[in-house]
Amino acid sequence: MNKPFFQACIFDLDGVLVNTAHYHFLSWKQITNRWKVTFTEQDNESLKGLSREDSLSRLLHITGKQLTPAEREQALIEKNELFRQYLTQMTPDDVLPGVTACLRFLKENHIRLAVASSSKNARMVLQKTELTPWFDVIVDGTEIEKAKPDPEVFLKAAARLNIQPHQAIVFEDAKAGVEAALAGGFCCVGVGQADILQQAHLIIPDFASISPSDLWISLSGLSADVKY
């Protein structure tokens, strides 16, 4: 293999490596049902990449629901408790197709790997899905002050990998995450819907749609096109 321009890959967690979006939806749905307001899976798509606090703010905007500060705090606690209950059911089967093969290929080619997630439950998810051993660095929502689209979580991951942003590729499935990667000076691969991730340097539907070797070729080809 030709030596690539990048030394590390930094992955968002939810929706990129594992399928947790539906668990987030079910958790919020229980709360909105009690409020007697409508909240759909399409609405849930707009919460991708946001912190729990920012997700609640977006949800309140979508539904028109108004809460006191105390009610907001209670909603955040309840959502986390509901979500963690769902997480206890997670297994390695919740790892998205093609992910493990991709991680193995990158490791075999001496690329360092990190997870950078706004989720405060990221380590629990990684443990339940048995993905933890793949990663050299893990940064989660308990370690950052600013949620995406601020690049803090990615910059912390790069610092712990002892690399500069231009030496890493970020994989993201959310618009806010792509914006965060670009703001931090990273090359970014969007994983998911092209219309949502159009700012990314490269877009793939998912890791099952491209072989690790073809992905490597595509990633290596980015160096000539990406402007930092």
The model's pLDDT over 45-67, given as tens digits with 9 standing for 90+, comes to 888 877 889 999 999 999 999 99
Rounded to a whole number, what is the distance in angstroms from the first to the last CA of the chain? 25
User: Under CATH, which architecture does the 21-87 domain have?
Assistant: Orthogonal Bundle (1.10)
Distance between CA atoms of residues 219 and 121, nearest Å: 29
How far is CA 16 from its chain centroid? 6
Q: Order across the sheet with 202-204: list the strands.
A: 137-139, 112-116, 8-11, 168-172, 187-191, 202-204
Tell me whether residue 128 is annotated as binding: no
Measured CA angle at 112 (ends 107, 116), to 5 deg? 120
- Stretch(es) of the chain classified as CATH 3.40.50.1000: 8-19+92-224
Q: Is 35 annotated as a binding residue?
A: no
Q: Please, where in the chain does CATH 1.10.150.240 lie? A: 21-87
Q: What is the pLDDT of residue 75?
A: 97
Can you tell me the distance from the alpha carbon of 40 to that of 44, in angstroms, rounded to the nearest whole number?
6
Mean pLDDT across the stretch 161-172? 97
Q: In DSSP terms, which residues pair with 14 in a beta bridge?
A: 18
Q: Is 213 flagged in the annotation as binding?
A: no
Superfamily of domain 8-19+92-224: HAD superfamily/HAD-like (3.40.50.1000)
Catalytic residue among 14, 93, 94, 140: 14
14 among known catalytic residues: yes
12 is catalytic: yes
pTM over 0.85: yes
pLDDT tens string 177-213: 999 999 999 999 999 999 999 999 999 999 999 999 9
Annotated binding residue at 13?
A: yes
Active-site pick, 12, 43, 136, 206: 12
Residue 49 among known ligand-binding residues: yes
pLDDT band at 228 (very low <50, low <70, confident <90, very high): very low
Q: Is the peptide bond before 149 cis (omega within 30 degrees of 0)?
A: yes
